[in-house]
Amino acid sequence: LPALQNEVAYFSSVLIGRDQPGVLVRAAHHGAPSAAWLATLDALMGLDGDATLRYDDARRSSSRRMLIIDDRLMAVRLSGATGAITSGEWLREWLLADKPVAEIRRLLLSPATHAPTGFVLAGRVVCQCFNVTEDMITAALADITGDARERTAALQRQLKCGSNCGSCDPELRQLVERVEWVAPLAPLLPLEKQAAA
């Protein structure tokens, strides 16, 4: 991967998934990557064989590669402008869910901006090690009391986020500071009972 890192302005690779482990690679550059760079990435991801589905839009400098084995997504590569990438964010969740692709095969190479009907996106993943989303963290923090350190420790015990590689720790700290614990409201008494009290 060092050869790939040196040719683009931004490059990251992190482990993702728990039940279906994998690697999420993200890269950005000032312009379209070279064909050789994409070919190297495809080879590393196993997307250079005959079983790979391919889509290329030379006018928009975007492309998609997908490897399907036994009706399951095994690898996906999206390249192009921001819209070409964000239109396929749901594919990562489909891959991690290990769902069959039969029902979505017609959408795999299309630039659809939404997930298939009935497939609910889990939300933005913060902890790649344990596939913990921002929505899950926010919901848990609403019930966790204490100072920032105590809330973070409780969050790690409850969801395991931030307890493995540590790459999500800075974002967890920001969420702990941003999401306040809200005390549950006491039930309101009917007016006549309030007057009597």
Compare 131 and 55 and report the one with higher pLDDT: 55
Which has the closest alpha carbon to 59: 27, 41, 78, 81? 81
Lowest mean per-residue pLDDT among 16-25, 27-36, 133-142, 153-162: 16-25
Compare 34 and 86 and report the one with higher pLDDT: 34
Confirm whether pTM is higher than 0.85.
no
Query: 175: which residues sit within 8 A by CB, 6+ positions away?
Result: 126, 134, 137, 138, 141
CA distance 158 to 136: 11
**pLDDT tier at 6 (50, 70, 90 boundaries)?**
confident
Length, in residues, of the chain: 197
Dihedral pair phi/psi, residue 193, rounded to 5°: -75, -35
- Across residues 101-127, what is the average pLDDT? 72
- Across residues 98-105, what is the average pLDDT? 85
Angle between helices 134-141 and 169-178 (to 10 degrees): 40
**pLDDT tier at 188 (50, 70, 90 boundaries)?**
low
Compare 121 and 176 and report the one with higher pLDDT: 176
CA distance 110 to 83: 12
